[in-house]
Structure 1
């Protein structure tokens, strides 16, 4: 079971792939963080946002989780408006936030 609550019906191929990859990262905590954000936002993300989200998907779970929780300083090239939205979403909606 993926955990997603959003149907991929009506999404273009790119968005369906991003939604899937968001829920299948490897570390359950990151599945929840990325997957829940994707469930909520995937339909509204611009092409630029999708580019950035795909870039975030490529970051290792350990690093990305550290950036989101503040345990590791976020590199400036990843401290983007989309990353800040992801971090704020996690902080305000997730039962696993720190």
Structure 2
């Protein structure tokens, strides 16, 4: 029987890499590839909740095109936004 935590991480990675438009796939999927394996259960919960947000909204907040609502602005979101900004500077 497969490890339920590994299954959850694979599902989250798939969802992160298939957001609906290429820029979001790259930014959110890249973050997931780099960070999912080290996330705690609470961080996985936060990331999963972020993936429920419509693509255009989440991407706009991550790249600071729009300000993120306070209820979204948790540690995982801030790490995601920071990684997106690091990518954009290279």
Query: Given the two structures, how large is their TM-score scaled by the length of structure 1?
Result: 0.81
Q: Report how many residues are paired.
A: 85
Q: Is structure 2 residue 75 aligned with structure 1 residue 81?
A: yes
The aligned residue for residue 21 of structure 2 is 27
The structural deviation recorded for 1:81 is 0.9
TM-score (norm 2): 0.88
CA distance in 2, matches of 1:29, 1:63: 13
After TM superposition, what 4+ stretches of structure 1 lie above 3 angstroms from structure 2? none
Aligned to 2:57: 63
CA distance in 1, matches of 2:6, 2:65: 35
Q: In the alignment, which residue of structure 1 is the partner of 2:36?
A: 42
Q: Residue 11 of structure 2 aligns to a residue in which SS?
A: helix
Structure 2 Cα separation of the partners of residues 91 and 70 of structure 1: 9
Structure with the larger helix share: 2
Partner deviation per Cα, 1:45-95 (whole Å, 9 max, x = no partner): 000000010111111111111111222111000010110000001111x2x
Which consecutive residues of structure 1, in runs of 5 or more, have no partner in the other structure? 1-10
SS in 1 for 2:31: helix
